[in-house]
Amino acid sequence: MATDTKADKLKEYETESLIEFLRGDSKIKHIEVGDLFTKLEEKKITGDSFLKLSGWDFKEYGMSMRQALELEDYIKELCDYGLKGGPAMRLAKEVQTLKEKPKRAFSSYLSLSEVLAKYGLDSDGIDSIPLFSPPTYEIQDDNKVFKRCMEEILGRLRSYGTLQPDSLEAMRNEYVVALLHASIHIVMDITNKELSMKPQYGIVGEESRGRVDYAIKEAEELICITEDKQHKVPIGFAQNIKQLESACETNKKKRKRGDNDFDYLYGIVTTGRDWHFLLYSPGKISKASDTANLIEFSRKALEPNSKSYQSLCDSVKEVLGIIVGLLMDRACAEEEPERKRVRIEGYRSKK
């Protein structure tokens, strides 16, 4: 009769028992784990979940790379005691692969033609990317979140002045964040889903890795990735596509999805002024429009009832409506793979 191993027992632990086990294990006492136990308690991590954590998960807990890798080794050692062929052993192999095979940084993708070649598109411009019809939501003038968003935007215009193509990144980010936060709050009000935005969020895929400007999640699922670019929008497209690839692979690992499963995510490439929207599914990439949705952040809009003010309101509502529509669609997507596939192929066929 087989004897239960450490990993077998750990797999059955609830959060409290897991923390008690880890606190009493002499091997982990030699690792500077910081506030690991607090994080495990906050996130309600069970023993089974703990065996699936990677170094990049530990990095998000505020640990150094050295500490994160030490914890990976600790998990690998637990896995080596048992769970042959199980999820923990597969994780150990993935950890080893992560150490042995360097991933390419998202920021290193400077050629759109290189990225598009993977999708059978021979071009170095965004014009060759097929179109899709994005689901949208109509933003009303009296929407309280929209009104608050406009107040924030006007406040920034008073402080910063007109947003120029060469404006500082920090200034540009203020407007991007205002629209993303507003979109998330509108979606949560409508759907009762719990969405969150993670700036500088670390993602590791099969080929690429790095931090994305803004990741939007529904619970633990990545649903939208935003790339904030000052210039050279095609480079922003290239990097956002690689980010979406890696985010989709991350979702698959976290959900333990099989090869036949189907997933999709949305991407946003923006300069603050210009807004582009992408639809990604494995092997396919589509854009919402041949031209950017434009928002002119001009001091002229500070004049009450002016044409510039009305134009600003209209363009903000238009962009918010698209972002809200995309987030609502992905956050409320059916679990059944084929239904999701039919859903997005419908968006693509409308163009």
pTM for the structure as a whole: 0.72
240 and 275, same structural domain? Answer: yes
Q: Is-contact 251 263, C-beta < 8 A?
A: yes
15 and 163, same structural domain? Answer: no
Is the pLDDT reported for residue 85 higher than 50?
no
Q: Is-contact 286 129, C-beta < 8 A?
A: yes
1 part of a folded domain: no
196 and 60, same structural domain? Answer: no
CA dihedral 248, 250, 251, 256 (to 10 degrees): 120
Backbone angles phi, psi at 218, to 5 degrees: -115, 110
Of 86, 101, 116, which residue sits at a domain end? 101
233 and 343, same structural domain? Answer: yes
Q: Is pLDDT larger for residue 243 or for residue 125?
A: 243
Residue 25 CA: distances (Å) to CA of 29, 31, 62, 89, 226 = 7, 11, 22, 20, 41
Of 53, 69, 101, which residue sits at a domain end? 101
74 and 135, same structural domain? Answer: no
Q: Which pLDDT band, with edges at 50, 70 and 90, does 89 fall under?
A: very low
Residue 1 is predicted with a pLDDT of: 39
287 and 158, same structural domain? Answer: yes
CA 173 centroid distance within chain: 17
Of 41, 70, 101, which residue sits at a domain end? 101
**Tokens linked to 32:** 């500077």
32 and 141, same structural domain? Answer: no
127 part of a folded domain: yes
56 part of a folded domain: yes
Backbone angles phi, psi at 281, to 5 degrees: -140, 155
305 part of a folded domain: yes
For 267-283, write each residue's pLDDT tens digit.
999 999 999 999 999 99
151 and 20, same structural domain? Answer: no
160 and 302, same structural domain? Answer: yes
147 and 23, same structural domain? Answer: no
DSSP string, 303-328: STT-HHHHHHHHHHHHHHHHHHHHHH
Residue 344 is predicted with a pLDDT of: 87
289 part of a folded domain: yes
Backbone angles phi, psi at 222, to 5 degrees: -75, 130
CATH code where residue 55 lies = 1.10.150.50
For 193-232, write each residue's pLDDT tens digit.
999 999 999 999 989 999 999 999 998 889 999 998 877 8
> By residue range, what is the domain housing residue 267?
108-349
Burial 39-51 (b: 16+ CB within 10 A, else e): bbeeeebbbbbbb
Residues near 67 by beta carbon (within 8 Å), at least 6 away in sequence = 31, 32, 33, 34, 58
339 part of a folded domain: yes
Q: In whole angstroms, what is the distance from residue 46 CA to residue 206 CA?
A: 26
Residues near 302 by beta carbon (within 8 Å), at least 6 away in sequence = 154, 157, 158, 309
Other C-beta atoms within 10 Å of 95: how many?
20
Residue 98 is predicted with a pLDDT of: 47
Is the pLDDT reported for residue 10 higher than 60?
yes
Q: Which pLDDT band, with edges at 50, 70 and 90, does 101 fall under?
A: low
223 part of a folded domain: yes
Residue 83 is predicted with a pLDDT of: 39
Residue 81 is predicted with a pLDDT of: 45
What single-letter amino acid sits at 289? S
Q: In whole angstroms, what is the distance from residue 88 CA to residue 86 CA?
A: 6
Query: Number of structural domains, the chain?
Result: 2
124 and 76, same structural domain? Answer: no
Q: Which residue has 């402080």 as its token pair?
A: 159
Q: In whole angstroms, what is the distance from residue 322 CA to residue 315 CA?
A: 11
What single-letter amino acid sits at 311? S
116 and 183, same structural domain? Answer: yes
Is the pLDDT reported for residue 236 higher than 50?
yes
Q: In whole angstroms, what is the distance from residue 191 CA to residue 179 CA?
A: 18
